[in-house]
Structure 1
Amino acid sequence: MAVTQLTRRAAGRADHPPPGRARRFWTIARRDALVGYLFVAPQLAGSALFVLLPLGLVGWYSLQEWNVLAGTFEFVGGDNYAKLLADANLRSVLTASALFSAGLVVLNLSLALTLAVLLNQRLRGTTLFRTLFFSPVLVSLVAWTIVWQFLLQKDGGVNGLLAVAGVEGPNWLRGEATAMLSVVVVQVIKNVGLNMVLFLAALQGVPRQLYEAAQLDGAGAWRRFRSVTVPLISPTILLTSIITVVGSLQVFAQIAVLTQGGPGTSTTVLVYYLYQQAFQFRHFGYGATLSVLLFVIVAALTLLQWRLRRRWVFHES
């Protein structure tokens, strides 16, 4: 206690010199503040250079008509946004994006939580299964997608396994219904291990005493899961849902390799449509406008999930 008081008095004398003496500019408080600013400066510079500046440029390019071949860069104001509202393909693109996101979020989170609950039972061989389920996360996305492209062909490995059971499988990537389902399943298998590990870590942090107390009160397995497990891991559910939703809206490589947006426009999600407009058709201004739309959708969904956390996330007021 005495040492603390002496330290405070010394700091006070350094910041407030006695009358008649000139006040030093580099006081202890200012030096500490400078050190703090220097520590956060690289992060602030990186955020400004790689986040804020690109966002500002995208907004600026969305107001331009940029023709690379002709070398023209013309300000058109809100013409690109008017074109966006009149785009006949936009509805099907948003529908495909919504179907992909909904299917991915539901399947990924439910499967990841189920696997985490099973692997949390401390049974023999769980370490091996954790490794097997997590290993696809470490595989290159493009390599993973190319392998599945061969497996999902008409005469691929998936239909070969179905033929053994006497079932004739379709050409998974050429049917409007099966193409979207195939892309969703491939993405779920690729990333379910990451959410599984997050859920498993959260489950292992739930106190065993709560399960024992609930069991003594007569709660069954389902009631313990619903009333004890889910509330205590709800912060992790929020985290994984935000990560999965944002990732589902940014899918590109799987669509580009597996279906190229087809058949028709059944798997043309917003990011792939943006790529087509900007880099295939050279409509860079309209591509920037689609980027602004994507940013607004991602930001709105993230803020919505963040606002709703107060209603169901444990420890939130």
Structure 2
Amino acid sequence: MNTHTKRRKILRDPLHFLLFALPGTALYAVFVLWPLLVAFGSSLTNEDTYRVTTSFVWFENYARLFSDPAYLQTLGNTVILAIICIIVPNAIGLGIALLLDRSGWVFNAMRAVFFVPVILSSVVVAVIWQLLLKDDGLINSALRSFMPHPPGWLSDPSLALYSVGAIVAWQSVGVCVVLYLAGLQSVPKDLLEAASIDGAGPVRQFRAVTWPLLAPSVTIMTVLSMIGGFKIYDQVKVMTNGGPGVGTTSTLAFDVVHTGLDAGAVGYAAAKAAVMFLIIAVISLFSIRLMRKREVDL
């Protein structure tokens, strides 16, 4: 009996299918579904670290959420960071991947160099860049040779959010490079040679052959970058702590932790976490569906 026949027999037998699926389903239920249900239940209460009794307020936290200007500002900050994390690393990563799509020890070494920031802790990266970008840091000290008043990368409210976004994007470039390199190396050489024989130059080959075949890689990286942008916490906590000013660089994840742990409003924080989860899920599903349609069209 071959493997395909065994698989079909298992799927037809409910008991075998249950035994086969039970371990994974149980782990998923314990570590994913149950915490989600607990968090949603908590979001319907007025649970507070400094309150003795807890009672149900149902959807009062959600109504309060969308009438809170600070939360709306936080949501806007997160959307801006997510857009930066989608566009910048993917564009730069694809460009670097195209340059490194060659054989030789030099190119292999360069691939490792670009991937180093990915394996570093985001906290370590944030601390290093905070030291570099502070008003009397190395970067501004060098810029003072050209301008008397260099930018306040982390102290200027108009620049701080984009500085954080740039650091997150910089650390994400390595992942994009590796994934796009894998996609480029899977492009059949025969198609490129045929396009070259037909008179297509490098740009035309990329547009007509390489880019359509990279569509699955683009889909994966776009969705992963979007999710990562919505989950930014470490860099904001270390570099700006939500400032300068009130909520200038606050993100959804940072706001959830601040509300639940620092302010002690556990129920309200759970509502914020539930909305954050819903936003990420909806945008992810929509993005996957839209980009999969693009893959088919290409």
Q: TM-score, with normalisation over the residues of structure 2?
A: 0.90
What is the deviation of 1:187?
0.9
Q: Would the alpha carbon gap of residues 234 and 30 (structure 1) be closer, same or farther in structure 2, given more than 3 Å must change?
A: closer
**RMSD value, Cα:** 2.5
Where do residues 3-22 of structure 1 align in structure 2 (5 Å cutoff)?
A: none
Determine if contact 2:77/2:249 at 8 Å carries over to the other structure. Answer: yes
Distance 1:286 1:30, change over 3 A: closer
**CA distance in 1: counterparts of 2:145 and 2:27, whole angstroms:** 55
In the alignment, which residue of structure 2 is the partner of 1:261?
A: 242
| Alignment partner, residue 103 of structure 2 | 122
Task: Kindly provide the amino acid, as one letter, of the partner of residue 303 in structure 1.
Answer: L
User: Residues 177 and 124 (structure 1 numbering): CA distance in 2 closer, same or farther, change over 3 Å?
Assistant: farther
Select which of 267, 275, 285 maps to 2:257.
Answer: 275
**2:41 corresponds to:** 60
Task: From the CA coordinates, give the structure whose radius of gyration is larger.
Answer: 1
Bigger mean CA offset, 156-165 vs 297-306: 156-165
- Equivalent of residue 135 in structure 2, options 154, 159, 168: 154
Deviation larger for 261-270 or 195-204: 261-270
5+ residue gaps, structure 1? 12-27
Q: Is the 8 A contact 1:64 1:76 kept in 2?
A: yes
Q: Please give the residue correspondences for 1:70-149 in structure 2 after superposition, counting only pairs within 5 Å.
A: 70-122=51-103, 125-149=106-130
TM-fit CA distance, 1:74: 0.8
2:29 is equivalent to residue 48 of structure 1 = yes
Q: Residue 287 of structure 2 corresponds to which residue in structure 1?
A: 305
The one of 222, 228, 234 equivalent to 1:241 is 222
SS at match of 1:251: coil
Structure 2 counterpart of 1:24: none
Partner residue of 1:14?
none
Q: Single out whichever of 62-71 and 290-299 deviates more from structure 2.
A: 62-71
Q: CA deviation at 1:165?
A: 5.5
- Taking a change above 3 Å as real, the CA distance of residues 88 and 161 of structure 1, as seen in their structure-2 partners, is same
Kept after mapping to 1: 8 A contact 2:131/2:137: yes
Deviation at residue 32 of structure 1 after TM alignment: 7.5
Task: Give the letter aligned to residue 218 of structure 2.
Answer: I
How many Å apart are 1:124 and its aligned residue?
6.0
> In the superposition, relative to structure 1, how do residues 30 and 226 fare at CA in structure 2: closer, same or farther (>3 Å)?
closer
Matches of 2:114 and 2:234 in 1, distance apart? 21
Q: Distance in 2 between matches of 1:213 and 1:29?
A: 46
Give the 3-state SS of the residue equivalent to 1:89 in structure 2: helix
Q: Structure 2, unaligned stretches of length 5 or more? A: none
Deviations 1:205-258 (A, max 9, x none): 101111111122222222211111111011011011111101110110100000
TM superposition score normalised by structure 1: 0.85
- 1:175 shift after superposition: 0.9
Amino acid in the other structure paired with 1:267: T
Give SS of 1:177's match.
coil
Residue of structure 2 in register with 1:296 after alignment: 278
Partner Cα separation in structure 1 for residue 15 and residue 43 of structure 2: 39
Deviation (angstroms), 1:181 = 1.7
In the superposition, relative to structure 1, how do residues 220 and 30 fare at CA in structure 2: closer, same or farther (>3 Å)?
A: closer
